[in-house]
Amino acid sequence: MLIEFYKYQGTGNDFVILDNFNENAPVLTTEQIKFICNRNFGVGADGLMLLSKKEGYDFEMIYYNADGNQSSMCGNGGRCLVKFAYDRGIHKSSYHFIATDGEHEANIDDDKIVRLKMQDVDNVHYHTHHSVLNTGSPHYIKFAENVEIMDVPTTGKEIRYSTAFAKEGVNVNFVEILDEDTIYVRTYERGVENETLSCGTGVTAAALISAHNENGFNTVDVKTKGGKLSVEFIKIDDQHFENIWLCGPAIFVFKGEIIV
């Protein structure tokens, strides 16, 4: 079966996208998706997405991890899918779409930065050495020094498969405070089962925990191995965060065909 695909990336977090807006994309098996995402034998990507039609919305986002399984929300993926929708002719001043975690808004500013509104966060588990929260996907946040030289794949994998998260697993983020407004984040992603160059929901989770204002409006700049993002939000208190926006570039890489 010959499949037409599009490749996009957001700060190095890369995705294969299939256009299913007219409901003509093929139904793929878990193994076929896993093959397409494989960096040695397929296209290579952190995940695969479908742009699909959904009544009452501009589109629906359907997301699969690189392991071929349908997954929870992907922030950078959502931003890339908005840019893909724009490139395919769906031009809106503000986008309204639905994903696995619910409804989202998005827009593209004059500098081609894609701004994606994330779900409000109403429950954060604070522990002595880490925090856990869900920003559309579950995230473990640990502050550390010298994050650049950490063995994130090894340490992240140990935490991801630890008994505390054995049922569903967790995404693991190591966060270093660079200055009052800037953090550096490296993430081990479940489903990819490795470090990715950037993780949108992970960056969002890390930014919320790193808020520099005790309450009210915050903007946190985030450095990742793949580039720079920013997160804007309102902090109500340590448990409640609203009006959360993930902001950064989303770039078309190439278009191609693959036989699966």
pLDDT digits (tens, 9 = 90+) for 76-127: 999 999 999 999 999 999 999 999 999 999 999 988 899 999 999 999 999 9
| Residue that has been written with the tokens 């995940």 in this structure | 47
- Active site residues per annotation: 74, 199
Give 205-257 pLDDT, tens digit per residue. Answer: 999 999 988 889 999 999 999 999 999 999 999 999 999 999 999 999 999 99
Has residue 178 got a pLDDT over 90? yes
Where does the pLDDT of residue 71 fall: very low under 50, low under 70, confident under 90, or very high at 90 and above?
confident
What is the chain written as a DSSP string?
-EEEEEEEEETTEEEEEEEETTS-SPP--HHHHHHHH-TTTSS--SEEEEEE--TTSSEEEEEEETTS-B-S--HHHHHHHHHHHHHTT---SSEEEEETTEEEEEEE-TT-EEEEEPPPB--EEE-SS-EEEESSSEEEEEE-S-GGGS-HHHHHHHHHTSGGGTTT--EEEEEEEEETTEEEEEEEETTTTEEES--HHHHHHHHHHT-SSSSEEEEEEEEETTEEEEEEEEEEETTEEEEEEEEEE-EEEEEEEEE-
Average pLDDT, the chain: 95
The verdict on domain 124-244 having CATH code 3.10.310.10 is: yes
CATH class of 2-118+250-259: alpha beta
What residue spans define the domains of the chain?
2-118+250-259, 124-244
pTM score, whole prediction: 0.95
Identical fold for domains 2-118+250-259 and 124-244, yes or no, is yes
Give 91-102 pLDDT, tens digit per residue. Answer: 999 999 999 999
- pLDDT above 70 covers a percentage of the chain that reads 99
Q: What mean pLDDT is predicted for residues 168-178?
A: 94
Has residue 167 got a pLDDT over 90? no
pLDDT, residue 213, reads: 87
